[in-house]
Structure 1
Amino acid sequence: MERAGGGAEPSRAQRRTVIWATYAIATLDITWMFLQFSVTPFLAKKLGFDTLWFGYLQTLVGVLQLIGNPLFGRFGDLFGAKAALTLSCGANVVFFLLLASAEHPVMLFIHKLPTLFMHVLPASQMVVTDLSEPDRRADALSKLGLCFGVGMLTGSTLGGHLNTLYGEKVTACVGAVGGAFSLLLVRMFIPKNTKAPTKAKTEGEKKSLFSLGEITRLLKYPGVVPTFIVKIVAGIPTGMFQSMFMIIALDVFKLDPKENGYLMAFFGISQMFIQGAVVGRLTARFKEPTLLLISIVASAAVGLGQAYMLHSGLLF
């Protein structure tokens, strides 16, 4: 199925195989991501981090992701989905190996550096978008949300049990092995280029990873800039929640790794329910601006509810 330039168009069965392999890779990536959520807060506390320094640690991740996201998208355009997923899964392995060897506060910061290249979910969206049928593309992409829920459930539960039974180092090593398995799946099932032959790059086209014009070209399309702004503004509270919730659950509610895993697993079940039973029906009934407004109002309500949590049972 390898195709560059004018290669043969893949059959529907080949496309389906690649898409399902992509779902598996995305699910595993989310699994390993939530596995490390069962390691980092507890390891940070052992190394003497307080809430402020844990916030600095998570800020570093946000900055690296902010820098890496546009460059990674450009990288995928130039070198194809297989190269993009290979880079991301390889960075995952390095990330967990550094985490397993983190025995000093500085190493905890250093182990976050590979997150600059860790963008498996966006790369999976590239593959699904390229290979799905136009009339089924929304449904195909929505299944990545289910992958997120499954990975969140599996990774949180597995990470909590592994950390309780064997400690942070073994849990991180399991994540490294899992990342290597994801990398193997990429090498086996993902074609070099998933774009249609008509979209392939011509030989004379200038290929520059750091082309600011190419990176920002998407912003010139109608409606992209307002959507981009809404995404950034709405993502700020979500980012704050994701970055600090673990350490708050640890310090304020005194959750151990297993209890923390159960809590995140509950979030995963909720995610799967929303993606599978709610989003599709709302999309069929309401227009996108209305759905965005509903999402923002719901997020604000949840945020206010979190501000009044005084007992660990209210977390659920």
Structure 2
Amino acid sequence: GTRGSYGQNKVASMKFWESIGAFYGAKDPSYAWPLALVHLNITLYALTFWLTRPVMPFLTTQLGADAVVFGYLQTVFSFVQLLGAPIIGRLCDTQGAKIALQMCQLATGLSYILLGSAWNIPVLFASQLPTVLMQSMHCSQAFVTDFSSDESRSSALGRLSLSYAVGMALGPMLGGLLSDVIGYHGVAWLAGALMFVPFLANMYSLPAHRPGMEKAKGEGGKGGLQV
């Protein structure tokens, strides 16, 4: 009857998420969905980044920049990325990977929107400043480390790199195709808009704390969490 069908569907759903959890190395089946969402996050993060990479040289040329200016632009990007890594590391330790990841997504989205709105060279350079927090891979690695089992942690982190590679493979192709339809600025705006999708999804779906954080706070007061 209906009750039997519901029971079968529930069992099938549980088995499905157990297999997802096992694939992502979850230390508990209940962490399967958060880990799957983190992998979707990193795929979309890579997709949006590599959407904009192919159009960057053409966009800078449209604004009157030459190859030397484009080189300076890449130098600024690399420099602020270097500055941001320890900041995000500290945020992951003190606020948790969820908050840090959402801050990364807001900063990344803002960078792409500024890039799409750039009407001169100074604004183009300003668009690279928010990338100081474009560190979603670091946050995702912290999340996977917290929610994966000890024996599967290495493979779990490897699969995170695979999810990034999927976005990296699709991004340049889509960026080149879309630039013919919506223009170089449009591609950057699209990338910025897409970054707010995982931000909202994470707000409601990712756990705010590491496993055991509440217990650790209750037992140790100000002590750190051991994972």
TM range (shorter): 0.7 to 0.9
Which residues in structure 2 correspond to 1:190-269 (within 5 Å)? 190-197=206-213, 203-204=221-222
Determine which of 53, 66, 75 is the counterpart of 2:82: 66
Name the amino acid aligned to 2:204: M
- After superposing on structure 2, the runs of 4+ consecutive aligned residues of structure 1 that deviate more than 4 Å are 198-203
Deviation string, structure 1 residues 190-215 (Cα, Å, up to 9, x no partner): 11112543766954469xxxxxxxxx
Label 1:200 to 1:108 Cα distance change in 2 as closer, same or farther (>3 A). farther
- Consecutive unaligned residues of structure 1, counting only runs of 5 or more, are 1-9, 207-316
- Consecutive unaligned residues of structure 2, counting only runs of 5 or more, are 1-25
Q: Confirm whether residue 180 of structure 1 aligns to residue 196 of structure 2.
A: yes
Whole-Å separation in 1 of the counterparts to 2:40 and 2:195: 12
Kindly indicate whether the alpha-carbon contact (under 8 Å) linking 2:59 and 2:185 is maintained by their aligned counterparts in 1.
no
Q: What secondary structure sits across from 2:186 in the alignment?
A: helix
Determine which of 57, 60, 63 is the counterpart of 1:44: 60
CA drift of 1:62 comes to 1.1
Name the amino acid aligned to 1:177: A
Q: Which has the higher helix share?
A: 2
Kindly indicate whether the alpha-carbon contact (under 8 Å) linking 1:95 and 1:115 is maintained by their aligned counterparts in 2.
yes
Whole-Å separation in 2 of the counterparts to 1:105 and 1:159: 22
Deviation string, structure 1 residues 235-284 (Cα, Å, up to 9, x no partner): xxxxxxxxxxxxxxxxxxxxxxxxxxxxxxxxxxxxxxxxxxxxxxxxxx
Partner of 1:97: 113
Whole-Å separation in 1 of the counterparts to 2:171 and 2:216: 37
Normalised to the residue count of structure 2, the TM-score between the two structures is: 0.81
Normalised to the residue count of structure 1, the TM-score between the two structures is: 0.59
CA drift of 1:30 comes to 0.3
Determine which of 67, 72, 97 is the counterpart of 1:56: 72
Between the aligned residues of both structures, percent identity stands at 31
Label 1:88 to 1:110 Cα distance change in 2 as closer, same or farther (>3 A). same
Give the alignment's Cα RMSD to 1 decimal: 2.0
Label 1:203 to 1:42 Cα distance change in 2 as closer, same or farther (>3 A). farther
Name the amino acid aligned to 1:81: A
CA drift of 1:23 comes to 0.3
